[in-house]
């Protein structure tokens, strides 16, 4: 008689060395591996897509430290449950408190954790699919380490399938052959938990022919209803279609995908936040007002909520879709970040350095700096880059009316240096 728990639970790792993926955290030289070796367990926030190991790693940390472990879900728990955990922690050793979907906690609910984390009564591990900078209040965030978790690679997902077939007692009882795996990976959308649940669904459905093929997986999975699921892969597919429709300047398609999210009950802040990012990433200086509109939209929907927010979102969406587009700022900062990673911390040129002391002035800090406002047109030709990067152009205005004006001005100032 086999255990009735789902396959994903049966295969949950018991130690860091059993975790698949996230080697930057739990690999041989991973930051959490090193922390646990030193018996150091800070409060932390795990940020990443569903099904890539946030809950699993929290559970393993509890196993490794042997600390009392309490798991709460922000969907079903509130201040009352949090305070109960804190009160119990005061009278025993430190408790490891795991809160899944911590971004769903309100400010007051998050504030209830602050004192306990500060005083060391609990070590908090929060899990979120949303950027914690937006969803976790600053006071709590400052007391936590934030760790980004990354989607599992295809090879890691295949390793997970192979391990399941080889190690799980229930699956080992039949000679299943994994002939093809693409349909399993495609339908599960990179979510390891869904992948294992789908594998179990398929193996439970196979009777005589125990060869797992893409055709069989697809046939068995047909019973899945393709509706909007704000917690699953449809969530990410539809927001992707939504963003790409706006980027592609199609307000009709953008409104359709917006309606799919609204009718599916998507978090209004999630939609508005994506619009705010898009206004900078895909429109930028081609129409700077887009950022103002998107920010006002974000503020407004936070005040109004559903159902009226659908109108506010629709106005913003159609404006952004019809706007001129430019990703010059996005490309520029990515190129700059690449340079920083490749070149390291290059020294700041002496003329640009601050010189608050006499010694610094004697060393040449600030010497030969040209104060722009002392020159005609408030401009003085000088070097602002580290010497190794002199002449490196990172911002290249695109061919739209507003950025053409910017290009003309840059050409007037910097053409001989940057080639505008």
* CB of 55 closer than 8 Å to CB of 127: yes
Domains in the chain, CATH or no CATH each: 21-148 (3.40.50.300), 154-223 (1.10.8), 233-322 (1.20.272.10), 344-418 (no CATH)
- CA distance linking residue 181 with residue 158, whole number of Å: 8
Q: What is the percentage of the chain residues whose pLDDT exceeds 70?
A: 96
pLDDT at 289 (0 to 100) = 96
Structure tokens given for 138: 């600053």
- CA distance linking residue 405 with residue 412, whole number of Å: 11
Structure tokens given for 286: 């081609």
pLDDT at 233 (0 to 100) = 52
Structure tokens given for 269: 């802040």
The kind and range of the H/E element at 178 are strand 177-178
Structure tokens given for 413: 């100032």
Tell whether the torsion through CA atoms of 231, 232, 235 and 240 is positive or negative: positive
Q: Could you tell me which residues come within 8 angstroms of residue 352 by beta carbon, excluding any fewer than 6 positions away?
A: 366, 369, 384
SS3 at position 146? strand
DSSP 282: I
- CA distance linking residue 415 with residue 420, whole number of Å: 5
Classify strands 69-73 and 95-100 as parallel, antiparallel or unpaired.
Answer: parallel
Classify strands 95-100 and 145-148 as parallel, antiparallel or unpaired.
Answer: unpaired
pLDDT at 1 (0 to 100) = 42
224: pLDDT strictly greater than 80: no
The kind and range of the H/E element at 84 are helix 79-90
> What are 13-19's contacts with CB under 8 Å, separation 24+?
13/56, 13/59, 13/60, 14/60, 14/63, 15/60, 15/63, 15/64, 16/60, 16/64, 18/60, 19/53, 19/56, 19/57, 19/60
Q: What is the dihedral of CA 327, 333, 338, 342, to 10 degrees?
A: 150
Distance from the first to the final alpha carbon of the chain? 74
SS3 at position 354? coil
111: pLDDT strictly greater than 90: no
Per-residue 3-state assignment (H helix, E strand, C coil) for 241-264 = HHHHHHHCCCHHHHHHHHHHHHHC
* Closest residue by Cα to residue 338 from 396, 394, 397: 394
State the pTM of this model: 0.58
- CA distance linking residue 139 with residue 159, whole number of Å: 40
- CA distance linking residue 329 with residue 398, whole number of Å: 10
- Where residue 247 falls among pLDDT bands split at 50, 70, 90? very high
Structure tokens given for 416: 């001989």
| Averaged pLDDT score across all residues of the chain | 87
- CA distance linking residue 51 with residue 151, whole number of Å: 9
pLDDT at 130 (0 to 100) = 85
- CA distance linking residue 340 with residue 231, whole number of Å: 36
- CA distance linking residue 28 with residue 191, whole number of Å: 24
244: pLDDT strictly greater than 90: yes
- CA distance linking residue 84 with residue 86, whole number of Å: 5
The kind and range of the H/E element at 72 are strand 69-73
Q: Per-residue pLDDT tens for 254-290?
A: 999 999 888 877 888 889 999 999 999 999 999 999 9
* Closest residue by Cα to residue 132 from 48, 72, 30, 32: 48
223: pLDDT strictly greater than 80: no
* Closest residue by Cα to residue 144 from 69, 47, 42: 42
Q: Per-residue pLDDT tens for 37-83?
A: 888 899 999 999 888 999 999 999 998 888 889 999 887 777 888 88
225: pLDDT strictly greater than 50: no
Per-residue 3-state assignment (H helix, E strand, C coil) for 384-414 = CCCHHHCCCCCCCCCCCHHHHHHHHHHHHHH
Structure tokens given for 187: 């339908």
Packed helices 289-304 and 268-278: angle between N→C axes, nearest 10 degrees: 170
């Amino acid at each position: 008689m086999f255990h009735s728990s789902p396959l994903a639970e049966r295969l949950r790792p018991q130690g860091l060395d059993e975790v698949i993926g996230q080697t930057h955290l739990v690999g041989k030289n991973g930051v959490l591996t090193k922390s646990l070796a030193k018996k150091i367990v800070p409060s932390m926030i795990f940020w990443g897509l569903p099904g890539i190991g946030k809950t699993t790693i929290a559970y393993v940390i509890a196993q490794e430290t042997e600390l009392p472990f309490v798991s709460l879900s922000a969907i079903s728990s509130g201040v009352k449950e949090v305070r109960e955990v804190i009160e119990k922690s005061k009278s025993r050793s430190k408790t490891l408190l795991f809160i899944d979907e911590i971004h769903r906690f309100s400010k007051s609910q998050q504030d209830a954790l602050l004192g306990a984390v500060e005083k060391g009564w609990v070590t908090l591990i929060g899990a979120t699919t949303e950027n914690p900078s937006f969803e976790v209040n600053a006071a709590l965030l400052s007391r936590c380490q934030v760790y980004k978790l990354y989607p599992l690679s295809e090879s890691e997902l295949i390793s997970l399938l192979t391990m399941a077939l080889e190690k799980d007692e229930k699956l080992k009882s039949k000679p299943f052959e994994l002939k093809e795996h693409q349909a399993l990976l495609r339908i599960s959308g990179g979510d390891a938990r869904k992948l294992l649940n789908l594998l179990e669904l398929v193996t439970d459905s196979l009777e005589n022919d125990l060869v797992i093929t893409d055709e069989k997986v697809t046939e068995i999975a047909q019973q899945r209803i393709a509706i909007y699921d704000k917690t699953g892969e449809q969530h990410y597919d539809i927001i992707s279609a939504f963003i790409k429709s706006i980027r592609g300047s199609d307000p009709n398609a953008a409104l359709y995908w917006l309606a799919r999210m609204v009718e599916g009950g998507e978090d209004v802040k999630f939609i508005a936040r994506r619009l705010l990012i898009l206004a900078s990433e895909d429109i930028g200086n081609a129409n700077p007002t887009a950022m103002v509109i998107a920010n006002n939209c974000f503020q407004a929907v936070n005040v109004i909520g559903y159902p009226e927010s659908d109108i506010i979102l629709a106005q913003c969406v159609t404006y952004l879709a019809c706007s001129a587009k430019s990703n010059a700022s996005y490309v520029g900062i990515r190129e700059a970040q690449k340079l920083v990673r490749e070149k390291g911390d290059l020294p700041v040129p002496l003329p640009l350095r601050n010189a608050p002391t006499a010694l610094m002035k004697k060393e040449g800090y600030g010497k030969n700096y040209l104060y722009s406002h002392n020159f005609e047109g408030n401009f003085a030709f000088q070097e602002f880059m580290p010497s190794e990067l002199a002449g490196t152009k990172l911002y290249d205005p695109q061919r739209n009316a507003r950025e053409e004006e910017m290009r003309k001005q840059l050409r007037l100032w910097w053409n001989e240096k940057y080639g505008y």
